Structure 1
Amino acid sequence: MKCSGCGANIQFEDPRKPGYIPREVFEKRVEEGKEILCQRCFKIKHYGKLEPVEYNWDFKNQLKSYLGGFEVVLWVIDIFDFESTYREDIANILKGKKIVYVINKIDLLPKAVTVKEVKEWVKRRIRTTNPEDIRVVSAEKNYGLRSLVKHLIKLTDKVLVIGVTNVGKSSLLNKICTHENTISPFPGTTLGILRRKARDANLYLYDTPGIMTKDRILDLLDPDCQKRILPRGELSRRTFKPRGERTVFMGGLCRFDIKYETELSPIFLLFSSKEVVFHETKRKRADELMKNRLGDFLKPPCNKSRYEDFKWKKETFILKEGEELAVAGLGWLSVRRGPFIVEVTVPENVKLAVREALVNPKR
């Protein structure tokens, strides 16, 4: 028997591993005809508390083994964290399959950004030959879900659903399918394949475990801090016009040292969750702040942390108007007036990417 929340096989021996439930609790719930949830899913659902488990999913090999039974793959991508959730290693594994790209969390973007603009931007990024296979949705706001189901029905009666952790797969499927599994803001909630039936349609969706990454700011945070930092509403944004040698922090784990060689100082915007602290300071104070206020004033991290506990890297970029610098799992910098030079300090594994602007900086 599987947990109806995360899909893990029910077991009674080891609380540290997926699917654990005390045997007496299991027998009581079976006797009473109640839903069978493992201890982990029960605590997520009723108390909003995540308990870690020892679980590793070798997504490359297991995903390849799953693909044999499916012609259509629904790939859920987070528009807030596009660079981390649309990944070339996944795209390579999916070659030869019909892919429907579900671009989720459109509700996080400024209202001035249109769905058409997002769709055209994504089309240029993933180089798909069929724009109909790009479906822009908001699971949170129920936007685009009905048309997504109609599109899938035209293609097949069974779909494999994949995505990186925290792109909103479970929330999406709970909106369009008949049986709810465990939704939580914590990454890695789904631990085994779950077969789900779409409401009022001859369509089955097979939900796979979220693919874990190691190159996002989010991956460096504890589960409670991840829950706080993940954006829940429209993104926070702030405009900066630094003059002279200035440093701008986006939380405590991302620092921008700004340099320019023109008479006009740069203008840029930062986009992130409302829980992320934006702070501008003099360059000479930045080192002190980063070492003494990490996780205290500068969040994330959400608790006082030691600068020495992280391995840091510095990367330098020349940014022009109309470009954005995305920081994986945290947000992005959007250039309104440039060019200028920015030296970025982040933990060493965090992915940084310059891209065409998603949000028009003149808005």
Structure 2
Amino acid sequence: MGGSPVRESALYCVGCGVPLQAADPKQPGYVPEKVLAEAEQDAVCQRCFRIRHYNEVAPVVQDPGYYEDLLQRIADTDSLVVQVVDLFDFDGSWIPDLPRWIGENPLLLIANKIDLFPRSVRHGRIREWVRRSAERLGANPVDIVLCSAAKGIYIREVMAAIERYRQGRDVYVVGVTNVGKSTLINRLLHDFGDGGQPITTSPYPGTTLDTIRIPLEDGRTLIDTPGIVRKDRLSEWVSPADLKVIVPKGTINPRVYQLNDRQTLFLGGLARVDFIKGPRQPFVLYVSNALYIHRTKYEKADEIQRAHLGELLTPPEDPSVLPPWRKQRFHIAGGGKQDLVIAGLGWIAVGKEAADIEVWVPEGIQVELRPSVI
């Protein structure tokens, strides 16, 4: 790697990439006028300063068209495209129509957060599952590398793959919000760079607001891009405090519930799973260890939801932040494991026996069946 993140002008925030300005404290890139006058290459905006030093988060709403314009520009370059995906939320962290956006550029897939999986799970199996899933989504990556940016696992393999496949070209790092993209780049800077000013990271989506360019040793550039927003994930809707509950901090401890039909599981106050019909069987939950799970009889579920949403059933602490709940129906054929995935929250391993299941989530949240990852 080369040096610290830079922009063509020094008057850009090295943490999130936006132009620095002293005119409007409510707009991205604000710094006091005195700070702006003395700003140097490694200056950060007030928002990034508060995130780094006080763990404050000020969400910024970006025009979705901005991300599309950025992706379209990548297709016109001769670059290596590195997509970072979240293994805990693979489908929800995939960029829709990615092959169309990147054109003829090669795609290197970095599957982050391998540390969340139990140690008994073979990494080779997960890597093959990622390849099949990418092909199902229409992509043909040149390679797949598993890693944990937070824990520093397989970071050397990530760096080696980037060098192998870029072949003297620029590198665009892309991903949806909250997949650990900037954390990964900071890890690469720390381990292989000069230890310069880090990119700002936080647990809240949308921390990087504009492209950040990092010089490479051969004169080329690694470009960190803003996280692309997908509103069909629960993680995009909740507050920073609630996000800390639903985003796993360490290895997932699967929770097994042996359910009879006409039983219900509440996943905090974010989702409800009704087992409508089928023989007694296990429902194995792969969600944050901190997320509260409540089991009850199906006949009592409506009453409990009305009385306890936002109290016993949290997060969210404020249910009004979510769209109205809508029901989705699934028939499980049985005879083979499948994952019932709730985007931005986790998944439930089912399929040992046939089952009719109804899943209630806020309207617009993606819920789907997929081949089992474990």
Q: By the TM > 0.5 criterion, same fold?
A: yes
- Residue 161 (str. 1) matches residue 173 (str. 2): yes
Matches within 5 A, 1:99-178: 99-127=107-135, 133-156=143-166, 157=168, 158-177=170-189, 178=193
Task: Show the counterpart of 1:191.
Answer: 209
2:73 aligned partner, one-letter code: S
Secondary structure of residue in 1 paired with 2:90: helix
2:81 aligned partner, one-letter code: V
Matches within 5 A, 1:206-225: 206-225=223-242
8 Å contact from structure 1 (residues 18, 54) kept in 2: no
Q: Which has the higher contact order (CA 8 A, sep 6+)?
A: 2
Task: Show the counterpart of 2:62.
Answer: 55
8 Å contact from structure 2 (residues 116, 250) kept in 1: yes
TM-superposition CA deviations, 1:184-243 (whole Å, max 9, x none): 111111111111246x78763100000011101112212332233221111242101112
In terms of mean alpha carbon deviation, does 292-301 or 120-129 score higher? 120-129
Q: How many residues align?
A: 351
| Structure 2 alignment gaps of length 5 or more | 1-10
Task: Show the counterpart of 2:298.
Answer: 283
Partner Cα distance (2:244, 2:221) in 1: 30
8 Å contact from structure 1 (residues 153, 203) kept in 2: no
- Residue 38 (str. 1) matches residue 39 (str. 2): no
Measured after TM superposition, the shift of residue 341 of structure 1 is 1.0
Measured after TM superposition, the shift of residue 62 of structure 1 is 2.3
| Structure 1 alignment gaps of length 5 or more | none
8 Å contact from structure 2 (residues 232, 366) kept in 1: yes
Change (3 A) 1:122 1:153: same
- Residue 246 (str. 1) matches residue 253 (str. 2): no
Partner Cα distance (1:141, 1:41) in 2: 23
Match of 1:233 among 245, 250, 260: 250
Secondary structure of residue in 2 paired with 1:150: helix
Task: Show the counterpart of 1:339.
Answer: 354
Q: CA RMSD in A?
A: 2.2
Secondary structure of residue in 2 paired with 1:218: helix
8 Å contact from structure 1 (residues 74, 100) kept in 2: yes
Change (3 A) 1:165 1:54: closer
1:165 aligned partner, one-letter code: T
Partner Cα distance (1:130, 1:25) in 2: 47
Match of 2:327 among 292, 314, 331: 314
Measured after TM superposition, the shift of residue 272 of structure 1 is 0.7
Task: Show the counterpart of 2:6.
Answer: none
Matches within 5 A, 1:262-273: 264-273=279-288
Secondary structure of residue in 2 paired with 1:337: coil
8 Å contact from structure 2 (residues 155, 188) kept in 1: yes
- Residue 305 (str. 1) matches residue 315 (str. 2): no
8 Å contact from structure 1 (residues 8, 19) kept in 2: yes
Match of 1:13 among 9, 23, 29: 23
Change (3 A) 1:306 1:98: closer
Match of 2:73 among 65, 68, 73: 65
8 Å contact from structure 2 (residues 245, 315) kept in 1: no
Percent of aligned positions that are identical? 35
2:158 aligned partner, one-letter code: L
Secondary structure of residue in 2 paired with 1:298: coil
TM-superposition CA deviations, 1:300-319 (whole Å, max 9, x none): 21x14359x63221111112
Measured after TM superposition, the shift of residue 105 of structure 1 is 0.4
TM-superposition CA deviations, 1:275-323 (whole Å, max 9, x none): 211111011221122122222111221x14359x632211111123311
8 Å contact from structure 1 (residues 105, 137) kept in 2: yes
TM-superposition CA deviations, 1:237-296 (whole Å, max 9, x none): 2101112411111121211110234xx412120111122111110112211221222221
Partner Cα distance (1:123, 1:201) in 2: 31
TM-superposition CA deviations, 1:48-100 (whole Å, max 9, x none): 11113343242122210233233210000000000111243233322422000
Task: Show the counterpart of 2:82.
Answer: 74
Partner Cα distance (2:306, 2:112) in 1: 36
Secondary structure of residue in 2 paired with 1:40: helix
Measured after TM superposition, the shift of residue 115 of structure 1 is 1.2
Partner Cα distance (1:83, 1:24) in 2: 45
Change (3 A) 1:315 1:335: same
TM-score w.r.t. structure 1 length?
Answer: 0.90
Partner Cα distance (1:202, 1:134) in 2: 26
Secondary structure of residue in 2 paired with 1:350: coil
8 Å contact from structure 1 (residues 294, 306) kept in 2: no
- Residue 323 (str. 1) matches residue 330 (str. 2): no
In terms of mean alpha carbon deviation, does 52-61 or 230-239 score higher? 52-61
1:122 aligned partner, one-letter code: V
Partner Cα distance (2:163, 2:219) in 1: 7
